Structure 1
Amino acid sequence: MVYESRRSKRHQEDDEIDDDLDHIMVFMLGEYRKRKSEDERKKRRGSVFGHEVYDRSRGEHDLKLFNDYFAEHPTYPEKYFRQRFRMSRPLFMRIAEAVKQHDHYFAQKRNAVGALGFSCLQKVTAAFRQLAYGVPADYVDEYLRIGESTSIESLRKFVRAVCEVFGPEYLRPPYESDTARLLAIGEQCGFPGMIGEAPTVNYTINGHNYDKGYYLADGIYPNWSTFVKTIKAPANLKDKNYSAAQESQRKDVERAFGVLQARFAIVRGPARFWDKATLTDIMNSCIIMHNMIIEDERDKCRLEAPYDKGDAETRGWISHEGTSNFSSFVDKHKEIRDPHIHNQLQRDLVEHLWERQGQRTRPQ
C-alpha cells in the first residue's frame, strides 16, 4: 500500500510538471507569434498602435521653403542661397530634378488618407543641410518639419542617387582636355610636367628631356623620378626660391581637400552612420557635387587656363593601343625608381625656376 501510494504521488508530480511545461511552451509560442507579427507590421510600415502623430504643417512649411529660396522673387537672394546650399540655385535644381527622375522616393505623393507627403525640395534640402552643416538628422525638423527617421532615409537615398546619376561623369578618369588644363596651370606656376594623373607627357627642362609627369611631394616619399620634393635646408638663393615655389604649389593641392571639408562639414566630422556603404556614398557624393560646383563656377571665377580645346582632346581619352610587354614594364619601373633622374629633375627645376622667377631675388 505504501509503495502504491508513493508511485501514485510521483505520477501526479510528473503530470503537474508536464502541465507547467505545456503552459511555458504555449506562452513562448504566443510571444513568438506576437513579436513576429510586430516585425511584419514594421516592415509593412503601416499604422502603429499607440503611435502619436504630430501635425507638423508640412504643406505650410513646404510653401515657406519655396518662397524663401525657390520662388521667382525669393526672400533670400542668390548670395544667401549660395552660402547655405553651397552652390548656385540652377545647379541645385539640376541635381534635385535628376534625383527625382532617378528615384521615385523624391516625388511628392499622397498617403493612405489622401494627405500630401513631403515634396522633393523638402527631402533634398534636408539631405543638403546634413551634408553641408554636419548636423544631426532631427536638427532640420524645426524648419522643414521632417522627422528624424525621414531625414535619415532622405540622406541615404539622396547620396545613393547622386552617385548613380552623376558618378559616371564626375568620378571618371580625366579627359585629355582636363590633363592639358592641369599641365598648363602647372607650367604657368613654373612646374612643367606636373600632373594629377599619369598620362604620357614630353617636356624639356634645362636642356634635359623627360617623358614622365611628376607629383609634388613632401619628404616622406621616396626619391623616385615621378616625385619632386622640397629641399629641407636650402643653403642658397636658388634653393630657397625653388623650395618656396614647390611648397606653395603643393599646399594648393592640400587645400583642395580643405575646401571640400569646409563646403561639406559632414566630411570633417565624426561618422554618423555605421554601415560602410552609406559612408562611401556620402564621401563620393560630396566629391561629385564638389566637382560639379567647380565646373559650374569655373568661368565665373575666371579659373579657366588659356589653352585650346580641340575635338581630338575631348574624344581621344580612351587608348586602344596594345599593352606593353613585361620587359617594357620592368624598364619603366626601374626608370621610375631611379634616384639619379629624381635628383637631376630637381636640380633642373631649381635652375628653371631661378631663370623664370628668381631674377628679382638676385643681389644687384
Structure 2
Amino acid sequence: MNFSQTPIPEYFTYFHQRRDACGLLGFTIIQKVTSAIRQLAYAATAVLFDEYLHTGEQTAYDCLNKFCKCIFHLYATEYLRKPTAQDVQRSTTKHAQIHRFPGMLGSINCMHWRWRNCPARWKGHYTRGDHGYTSIMLEAVASYDGWFWHAFFGTAGSNNDINVLNQSDLFNDFLAGEAPPCTFTVNGCTFDKGYYLADGIYPEWSTLVKSFRNPIDPKQSKFKNSSCRFIDWYDPPMCARSVAIIPGLLEAINRAEAGMNAAKTEVKIYKWLLVVVCVWFALSKFGN
C-alpha cells in the first residue's frame, strides 16, 4: 500500500524501532511482530512470551492490537469482505459457461485441519476418536477462480459437516434477505437465490445441490459427470519448473524426516543404556 500521499496510520508506525526517554533503543519490529503472531497462533496470553521476547504484558497486547489493525487496513477492502452483486454475477456466469450450472455460487465442503500446536488443555475438545489427533474443522466456500468467499473454523467437539454448517453464518444473509441477488432460470422456472454444490452428507436444502453417488438414469449420470469437473481448478496442471523442483523437495523432506526418525531412535537407545548403567552402578555400589 502506498502511503506517500496520506499520513501513515499510528498502528503502522508503532512497529518502528524507537528510542525511549533514556535514549535506549526499544523493541525491534521482529520482536513486536513475533509477539503478535505467536499470540494468534497459540491462542496464548500476553505474559506467556515475556521471557522469550522480553516484552511486558501491556506491550504484547499493544503489538497484537496494532498488528490486527494493520492487517485489516491492508486487506479488508479486497479480501476480508463478503461477495458483492458484481462478484456473484461474475461467479455464476463463469460456472454457467464451464459447468452448465446456472445460479451456482460455489462449492462448499469441510475438512479436518491438523492442529499440531494445540494447547494441552484443549486437546480433549479438538480430538476425534476416529482420527486420533487434534484437528480443527474448516468449512469453506470456493468459486471456480479459487476465491474463498467463506471460511468458518474453530468449532470444538466431535463434529462433522452438518454440525459445523449449523453453527456457521453462511446462510445468515439469506435468512435476513440481505444476500446479493442471483436470478436464473431452469426449465422455465425462475429462481431468485443461488445454490452451492455439496457432497452427500449435507442436508436436503434448496440452497444445496448434491451429486448422485450411484446414478441410475442418464439425467443423473450427466449431472454427476458435469459436477465432478467443478474441482478441476483445485488441481491444475503443474508448470515445467514445478515438475522439476517438486520431486527434489519431496526427496529432501523425506531425507530430513528419515534423519529425524533415526536421531529419535538413537536418543531412545542412549536413554535405555543410561538407565541400565545407572541401575548397574546402583546395584554394584549398594548391593553389598
Tell me the TM-score normalized by structure 2.
Answer: 0.39
Structure with the bigger RCO (C-alpha within 8 Å, sep 6+) is: 1
Bigger Rg, structure 1 or 2: 1
Q: Given the two structures, how large is their TM-score scaled by the length of structure 1? A: 0.32
More helix by share: 1
